[in-house]
Amino acid sequence: MATTPLREIDKVEILTVLDNTIDLLMASTPKAKRLPLPPDALTRESLVAEHGFAALVTVTSGNTSDSLLFDAGLSKNGLMHNMDVLEVRPKEVHTIVLSHGHADHTHGLMGLVER
């Protein structure tokens, strides 16, 4: 059986882009940094929740970082809307990993492809 050696890394950040629920008023913790409410929170676009899941995983080793999209949510609009609100640029995503083939983890790719 072939093996792939793993390299040591310095940091992993997981940004939940899309999930089933959202609580904009939840406070940060030492382990989880929440999206801060900006001064214009009542007038600017807000994150949306929908059935499904998507996360941006960023791995840092030394001065090098690379990001992958883990799953893509259910709708093409939900994924892209939240990426815009979170200021995640589609060009920052170098790899896409799909956990399985259900629609609530894959259909958001259509929005990314259209963009």
For 56-89, the pLDDT digits (tens) are 999 999 999 999 999 999 998 999 999 999 999 9
- The three-class DSSP label of residue 94 is strand
- Amino acid sitting at position 95: T
Q: Does residue 39 carry a pLDDT above 80? A: no
Rg (CA), the chain: 15
Any idea which of 17-31, 35-49, 50-64, 85-99 has the lowest mean pLDDT?
35-49
Phi, psi of 4 (to 5 degrees): -120, 120
Instruction: Note the pLDDT tens digit of each residue in 2-27.
Output: 898 888 999 999 999 999 988 877 88
Q: Enumerate the domain spans of the chain.
A: 11-22+46-114
